[in-house]
Amino acid sequence: MAIEMKVPPVGESITEVTIAAWNKKDGDVVKMDEVLCELESDKATFELPAEAEGVLKIVAKEGDTLPIGAVICIIETVGGQTAVAPSAPVVEAVAAPAAAPVASAEPAKTIEIKVPAVGESITEVTVSSWNKKEGDSVNMDEVLCELESDKATFELPAEASGTLHIVAEAGTTLPIGGLVATITVGAGSAVAAAAPVVSTPAPAASTPVESSSSYAAGHASPAAAKALAEKGIDPATVQGSGVGGRITKEDAQSAQKPAPAPAAAPAKAAEPAPVASASGNRVDRAEKMTSLRKTVARRLVQVKNETAMLTTFNEVDMKPIMDLRGKYKDKFKEKHGVGLGFMSFFTKAVCVALKEFPAVNASIDGDSIIFHDYCDISIAVSAPKGLVVPVIRNAEQLSLAGIESEVIRLALKARDNKLTLPEMTGGTFTITNGGVFGSMLSTPIINAPQSAILGMHNIVERAVVIGGQVVVRPIMYLALSYDHRIIDGRESVSFLVRVKQLLEDPTRLLLDV
């Protein structure tokens, strides 16, 4: 009976895969669940296990690109039994004394460790780092590796005690449900019993075993082979970091062409001079994007393409707020335990303005506009792994001290990469402060599905005219980027003017006028 092995579904957005490497040859005898080949998509690498025991007939060769559901190979079985039966006498003749221990060995059980569901909006994760190595013995609930999504980092515990076999190397991106590793339970005695079989034959028989265990060493994936060919680099000179020593795309991107042999120098004595003139470090370094960086990039491009984004500007005289802070900052910190910063004034002013211009606090959902009667203010924070936007819930109900406490709490959690999903979802309006990095003016991008974002900038002393007199005042430029599909020009300008009025006269915030 012939069993067709087809390309399995490996992810919602993946429509085709490439045969990266075959572990078996055409005509080989394969066992159930034995890995036949590696399939490579644009996101990750997967292993294809045998669905039955029998003789392998390869249909698709290495480098072939196949759609989901296409036939990769065929396994021929004989009357429900494997074709390995004819070779049984050879094994018995070579290692007859070992037959009894093998028969008495406890059968091994393999447990698959897959990517768990970690959030409604998360469809894929990246293996950040492994705490264990290939072949290590692991215990139940022991942390195997860390999984990194575009929003948070999770730990993956062992589901049983046994021997670890790593399927996805560090840096591999997998969909939810993707295979991360396998744990072999109760295989210790079977492995020990099989050892004499390998050592009994003549030394010549050990060579094929050695080569089969490192079949992928020095082998480049299709994408890696193309990159090496463009650079003119021989794959044999590249050290692979993939499974079994396979050369990955990242290895190819970071590989450098070897320097010419010194023996060529005496042929032309005048040629070393141009080579020596290229001084300094000119090495290109490729780093794989993190899940967070890829998601931020994808969402920003999506916003630019799907919104009618426009930016309006204004300037604020910061002297009244600076005078107020200088007068009360010590008493404020003594009473509330937090410093009095600019962010609390801006957040409070924005909340007042959002109540007066609800379209700025709205979002589009299909053919409907969703208006929010609360202000969940997102604060853009630069974390070690990239930009994150934690949310201050019901900011309109908080005092200046309450807002400052929330800003400090969320900023510290962002710095330590401990923000949770609920703390980063559901904002209705965003404030970003590029001024802390020295930015004078910018056009921030909307944080979808919100309809507007306010950009703060640095404070610079400028000459301005007040009451017919030229005076020097600390001025900050403000930028409001908004979605013109919801917010009209009159509303956007009026909103920014209202924020300016509240900041230049902070008493308005206290009197609600």
Q: Which residues are catalytic?
A: 484, 488
Cβ within 8 Å of residue 252, ≥6 positions away:
220, 223, 224, 225, 227, 228, 231, 233, 238
CA–CA distance, 409 with 398 (Å, rounded to integer): 15
Give the H or E element holding residue 465. Answer: strand 459-466
Lookup: tokens for 181: 């590793």
Torsion sign (Cα): 90, 94, 100, 105: negative
Element (H, E) at 129: strand 124-130
Q: Which residues pair with 480 in a beta bridge?
A: 312, 454
Which residue stretches of 237-374 are H helix? Answer: 249-254, 272-277, 291-306, 319-336, 342-356
Residue type, 356: E
For residue 256, CA distances in Å to 55, 171, 221, 251, 253 come to: 41, 21, 17, 10, 8
Q: Which 3 state secondary structure label does DSSP give 408?
A: helix
**Which sign does the torsion angle of CA 11, 17, 23, 27 carry?**
positive
Amino acid symbol at 475: I
For 42-106, the DSSP string reads SS-EEEEE-SSSEEEEE-S-TT-EEETT-EEEEEE-BTTB-TTGGGHHHHHHHSGGGHHHHHHSP
Q: What is the dihedral of CA 38, 41, 42, 43, to 10 degrees?
A: -80
Q: At what angle do helices 489-504 and 319-336 cross, to 10 degrees?
A: 60
CB neighbours (10 Å) of residue 411? 18
What's the rounded Cα separation, in Å, for the pair 233 and 449?
46
Would you say 209 and 217 are in contact if contact means Cβ atoms under 8 Å apart?
A: no
Residue appearing with tokens 């404070």 = 459
Task: Identify whether the C-beta of residue 11 lies closer than 8 Å to the C-beta of residue 41.
Answer: yes
Phi, psi for 242 (deg, rounded to 5) = -80, -170
Any idea how long the chain is? 513
CB atoms within 10 A of CB 151: 19
* 44, 178 Cβ separation under 8 angstroms: yes
